[in-house]
């Protein structure tokens, strides 16, 4: 019997390392039980997770939200096979549906195998695709298989992967480079991190197949330095792969040689743009360059280069093993295969989701994600991070397809899906993303450097109660200017959160500007706290907790909030147990 503890970042943050140590201590000296680790299976909301496998390597039971103090009960129950004693820890039938409603290609090994074990990866057909490609297919045949699959780049734009590979292969020169963009900078996105932490060998295999196809002998993984666990596991996987002949010179006895190096980025969002990433790799400041020339013609060190993200490469081995046509059977006419999303925000089941293209937003958020937490109402979902837009409830039946999502004003993006409920102020949400993009702007072009700051100033003014007529029109004018004239994708898409909130939530802008009121009660300057005389018993709790002494009144007499002093912190509202204080 084997006890496997999920050890992705989410699991470790929830206490999985302590759970592992407690279980290991409990089974010490027990020859019938062993310990193991795995990565993130995607059910981040249930971590720490412990999977128990029988001697035939079949899943016996999945335990969730495990604590170190549960270790003794777990081990003793397993020793006597009294599994009913573990029922409080067992995953519910409802939560089992989280995985059953998904189609997993990129995440096929995540949460299943040990990410540090090449033997476990090989046992799941690992490196068979690499052997097939380098020993039984020409470079053109590999590219053709990717073309048949219809695989689009999963970094956001969905650009045909085969086209980029073919362009790099067709470029003149013997020195070519293949680069993996693992600079995952979108707030709310953690897909690439989870794949590297949980299945690093699949990334390596996909990159090697891509390098073989374009004729590259050197590869880079540009990964965020804020991902230490991902870097550690990828470093280990590269070392082990080279020791086993899957990396380095004459791979698998072929004439193909290739080396992969990790480059840790300093966390600049703009380095997610491919030319800025290349500049950073070269030791320069991460700033975008004008295109053309494209990286396929003149990229790293001015040599032909190909850049794809982690999720794109993680699809490659599956496609080579199963055929491009099988991949193309999934999805829609415009968007083939599957897509991984990071579900976060006000959702019941937050975590990683992989679904076939063509499912609706409603299916992902409600059927898989379990809907909105705490009985609140759905309001919007932010797709595509700072470069994306907010999609309202009326468009929940939009299919997950590059073209259809683009029509809403949002984008697929790398896969961040931030769910918002009725308590969310959409202007505050737009301000949050504008604050992010204005700070992350490299400053190279005026539209992005100054335009995002001017938009942020207007949004800030509106949320502080100083909005004025014409602000919305001015925002729209600035948005269109920046979209048309910014140098790179960061600037060109920065206005999307603002444009979509204006498009779908114009009434909230009007309420802030004309009525000086925040319908969601999230903008402090637009909230008024008053005490209902009929309900106030003069307990004085609110007055004692007011940080600025804005509440006056005698004991056992109705109190009054002095509006000229009140800083609208909400302390009185939170402390009053009688509901005598109201917000408006």
| pLDDT above 90 (res 157) | no
Q: Which residue has the tokens 């925000």?
A: 345
pLDDT digits (tens, 9 = 90+) for 265-285: 987 889 989 999 999 999 999
The tokens describing 287, both together, are: 């700033």
State the Cα–Cα distance between residues 101 and 449, nearest whole angstrom. Answer: 43
Q: Is the pLDDT of residue 76 over 80?
A: yes
Q: What pLDDT digit, counting tens, does each position of 518-554 carry?
A: 999 999 999 999 999 899 999 999 999 999 999 999 9
Each residue's pLDDT tens digit, 426-480: 999 999 999 999 998 898 999 999 999 999 999 999 999 999 999 999 999 999 9
Six-digit token string for 137: 């297919």
Distance of alpha carbon 40 from alpha carbon 49, whole angstroms? 9
Stretch 135-161: mean pLDDT:
94
pLDDT of residue 518: 94
Supply the pLDDT for residue 176. Answer: 98
Separation CA 160–CA 151 (nearest Å): 6
Average pLDDT over every residue of 123-148? 98
Q: How far apart are CA 406 and CA 395, in angstroms?
A: 12
Which helix or strand (DSSP H or E) is residue 174 part of?
none
Do 575 and 547 touch, CB atoms closer than 8 A? no
Distance, CA of 323 to CA of 189 (rounded, Å): 29
pTM assigned to the model: 0.93
Q: Cα angle at 70 between 64 and 74, to 5 degrees? A: 80
Q: How many angstroms separate the CA atoms of 579 and 498, rounded?
A: 36
Report the pLDDT value the prediction gives residue 396, as an integer from 0 to 100: 97
**Contact in structure between 502 and 475 (CB atoms under 8 Å):** yes
pLDDT of the residue at 156: 76
pLDDT score for 506:
97
**Confidence at 387, pLDDT banded by 50, 70, 90:** confident
* pLDDT reading at 82 higher than 80: yes
């Amino acid at each position: 019997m084997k006890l496997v503890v999920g050890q992705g970042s989410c699991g470790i943050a929830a206490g999985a390392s302590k759970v592992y140590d407690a279980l290991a201590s409990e089974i010490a000296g027990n020859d019938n039980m062993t310990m193991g680790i795995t990565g993130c299976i995607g059910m981040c909301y249930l971590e720490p997770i412990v999977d128990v496998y029988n001697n035939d390597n079949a899943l016996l039971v999945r335990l969730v939200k495990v604590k170190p103090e549960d270790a003794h009960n777990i081990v003793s129950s397993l020793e006597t096979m009294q599994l009913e004693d573990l029922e409080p820890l067992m995953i519910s039938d409802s939560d089992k549906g989280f995985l059953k409603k998904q189609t997993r290609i990129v995440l096929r090994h995540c949460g299943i195998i040990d990410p540090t074990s090449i033997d476990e990866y090989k046992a799941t057909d690992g490196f068979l695709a690499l052997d097939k490609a380098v020993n039984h297919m020409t470079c053109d045949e590999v590219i053709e298989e990717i073309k048949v699959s219809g695989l689009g780049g999963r970094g956001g734009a969905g650009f045909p992967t085969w086209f980029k590979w073919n362009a790099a292969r067709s470029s003149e020169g013997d020195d070519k480079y293949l680069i993996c963009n693992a600079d995952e900078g979108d707030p709310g996105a953690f897909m690439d991190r989870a794949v590297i932490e949980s299945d690093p060998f699949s990334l390596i295999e996909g990159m090697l197949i891509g390098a073989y196809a374009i004729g590259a002998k050197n590869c880079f993984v540009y990964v965020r330095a804020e991902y230490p666990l991902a870097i550690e596991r990828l470093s280990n996987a590269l070392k082990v792969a080279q020791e086993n002949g899957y990396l380095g010179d004459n791979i698998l006895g072929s004439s193909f040689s290739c080396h992969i190096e990790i480059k840790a980025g300093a966390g600049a969002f703009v380095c997610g743009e491919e030319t800025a990433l290349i500049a950073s790799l070269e030791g320069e400041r991460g700033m975008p360059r004008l295109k053309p020339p494209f990286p396929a013609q003149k990229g790293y060190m001015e040599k032909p280069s190909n850049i794809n993200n982690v999720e794109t490469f993680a699809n490659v081995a599956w496609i080579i093993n199963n055929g491009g046509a099988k991949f193309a059977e999934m999805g829609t006419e415009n968007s083939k295969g599957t897509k991984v999303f990071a579900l976060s925000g006000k959702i019941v089941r937050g975590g990683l989701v992989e679904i076939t293209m063509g499912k609706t937003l409603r299916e992902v958020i409600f059927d898989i994600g379990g809907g909105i937490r705490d009985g609140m109402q759905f309001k919007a979902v932010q797709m595509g991070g700072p470069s994306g837009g907010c999609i309202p409830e009326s468009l929940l039946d939009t299919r997950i397809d590059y073209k259809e999502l683009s029509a809403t004003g949002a984008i697929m993006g790398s896969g961040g899906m931030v769910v918002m409920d009725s308590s969310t102020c959409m202007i505050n949400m737009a301000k949050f993303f504008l604050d992010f993009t204005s700070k992350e702007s490299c400053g190279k072009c005026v539209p992005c450097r100054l335009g995002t700051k001017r938009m942020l100033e207007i949004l800030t003014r509106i949320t502080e109660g100083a909005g004025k007529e014409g602000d919305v029109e001015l925002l729209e004018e600035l948005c269109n200017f920046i979209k048309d004239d910014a140098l790179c994708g960061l600037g060109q898409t920065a206005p999307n959160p603002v444009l979509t909130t204006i498009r779908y939530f114009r009434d909230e802008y009007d309420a802030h500007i004309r009525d000086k009121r925040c319908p969601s009660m999230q903008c402090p300057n637009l909230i008024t706290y008053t005490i209902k005389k009929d309900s106030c018993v003069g307990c004085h709790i609110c007055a004692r907790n007011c940080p600025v002494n804005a509440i006056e009144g005698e004991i056992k007499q109705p109190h009054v909030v002095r509006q000229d002093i009140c800083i609208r912190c909400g302390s009185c509202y939170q402390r009053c147990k009688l509901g005598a204080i109201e917000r408006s």
